Amino acid sequence: MMPASNMVASLIHTITAHSGDITCLSFTHDRLATGSGDKTLRLWSLDDFSEHQSSPLLGHSYNIHCCVFSPFGSILATCSTDGKLILWDVKAYEITAILQHPSKNSIRVCRFSPDSSHIVSGSDDNTICMWEVATKKLIRSFSGHEESVVALAYSPDNNYLVSGSTYGDLHVWDACFGHGRYLFLEVEGHDLGVTCCEFSPTYGSARNPQSGIANFLLATSGKDNLIKLWIFTAPVGSADVVLKCHNTLPGHSDTVTSCAFNPSGTILASGSLDKTVRLWDPVRGIPLFTIDAHNRFVSCCAFSLDGRLLATGSIDRTVKIWKLTDTSHIMEGLMGYEAPEEDVKPTSSANPVCAMENWTVDDVVAWLATFGLEQYQDRFRENIIDGSELLALTSSDLETILGVAPLGHRNKILRNREVSKMQMVPKSEAKEIKLPDLSSHDELLCPITREIMKDPVIAADGYTYDRSAIQAWLESGKDRSPMTNTVLDHRSLTPNRTLKMVIERFLEQMK
């Protein structure tokens, strides 16, 4: 299991083949499916991200809203504004069935049951349809929503179904015994509308054999800019279902369009109209880090089945593939690093290992991001708030000088300052340690100079370089990647802040 607090995301590939907005993503064991507003579904090998010979799949006449592989990996389902739910055979990528709601309205979302025996779909007709995969027959419909059904999730035990609508409500249904009426209604799921809901694949999956009560963790996203975590409990076979909000994760500044758990349930990813992807620890309910690499709204995100890759899609018409790397082999043994305690909210695994009064302005700015207050970074930088200035700040200073108006945000900064003061170790107290061999940590070295990077940035080819080295490369007139020799799509450079923090921690021990 990858420790979430020691994770680094590195961009390894960008897909630019679609001519429309990216709307959906789905992984199987060896392939990634990408759906788009250009009406096509494309398939990519996970070995080298080459496009499959059967791609693109052409079956829809309007935007594709959702694509999903069955848990057993033998079927791919897509749904669209054209009102069709299409099932594709994965071996030949041929259409095996075209299903429609009786109303023939647009279908917004589809999900397979965990045992692959059924598939459900949500539509603009405000209903949910359940189909038997083997016979391709509609076996039941669920009615109760007042607006379009855009979010669906099966419980890991196959017994329950949760749905969300653009009205903002959440319904729980009996997916096993066929009760037509909802078992539970949460009217105030998300203000202005629900956009996505997903069950954790691991949390509470082992039912208490004595009580027979199902206990699961559900994540939902909405137009209120929030991720909400819900505790779902239900005695099996009973209608006494309870969905209780357990935690709310603020941080996005616009509608959260999608959310996804990694296979181990230790990481939750969310995409937003604020152009960012955020990663969270869902068990402790804390932010891990933010990926800011898309030029426009992020519409979808998905983890690979082994949890090592994260795909993000955007209306900038690109899909970005991120490799998630466990950096604990670098961090272990470094002075000032300790794995975060479960009951204490850590400021970050990447804080500078020196006394707070020795922090630079960059250290302070990076520290703000560790607890979700990136919106104040520019103000701190403009006012040259370094560690010593941070220690002197009062609540009044935060409000009048730095523009931190909400009392909750001011208190959050002051609380985290006290926690960080206790966690930091002055350089004078650092013990002599044995440094790791650089040759075994190639991720710290610039591919061009083969030296430790000072300011790592991500180029258009997805590789990370030291800023000065890649800028010199580009300014020399070269338009191809130093690594792949392919033409660079653009000359923009994106800071790899997470890797920079890891490098700074490593270098601190060399002083």
In this predicted model, what pLDDT tens digit does every residue of 210-256 receive, in sequence order? Answer: 556 778 999 999 999 999 999 999 876 667 889 999 899 999 999 99
Q: What is the pLDDT of residue 458?
A: 86
Q: Which helix (H) or strand (E) holds 467?
A: helix 467-475
Q: What is the pLDDT of residue 335?
A: 44
Find all residues with CB under 8 Å of 241, minimum gap 6, and list them.
160, 172, 183, 184, 232, 233, 234
Q: What is the pLDDT of residue 485?
A: 67
d(CA 238, CA 400): 56
End-to-end CA distance of the chain: give it in Å, rounded.
33
Angle 462-466-469 from CA coordinates, rounded to 5°: 105
Task: Reply yes or no on whether the pLDDT at 511 is more than 70.
Answer: no
d(CA 112, CA 106): 18
Confidence of residue 340 (pLDDT cuts 50, 70, 90): very low
Q: What is the pLDDT of residue 453?
A: 85
d(CA 301, CA 9): 14
Kindly state the percentage of the chain with pLDDT values over 70. Answer: 84
Confidence of residue 1 (pLDDT cuts 50, 70, 90): very low
Q: Can you say whether residue 358 is alpha, beta or left, with left for phi > 0 and alpha for psi between -120 and 50 degrees?
A: alpha
Q: What is the pLDDT of residue 211?
A: 56
| Nearest of 79, 85, 89 to residue 99 by alpha carbon | 85
Return the minimum-mean-pLDDT range out of 169-178, 218-227, 256-265, 312-321: 169-178
Q: What is the pLDDT of residue 437?
A: 44
Helices (H), 393-466: 395-400, 407-423
Q: What pairing do the DSSP bridges indicate for beta strands 242-249 and 64-69?
A: unpaired
Q: What is the pLDDT of residue 5?
A: 53
Find all residues with CB under 8 Å of 495, minimum gap 6, and list them.
455, 456, 457, 458
pLDDT digits (tens, 9 = 90+) for 432-449: 333 344 444 566 778 777
Edge-to-edge, what's the strand order for the sheet holding 227-235?
194-199, 213-222, 227-235, 242-249
Q: What is the pLDDT of residue 461?
A: 78
Average pLDDT, rounded, for the chain: 83
Question: Can you tell me which residue has the tokens 């000088």?
Answer: 401
Task: Reply yes or no on whether the pLDDT at 321 is more than 60.
Answer: yes
Structure tokens at 486: 């392919």
| Mean of pLDDT values over 486-491 | 82
Confidence of residue 508 (pLDDT cuts 50, 70, 90): confident
Find all residues with CB under 8 Å of 49, minimum gap 6, and list them.
13, 15, 32, 321
Structure tokens at 502: 């890891």
d(CA 411, CA 195): 31
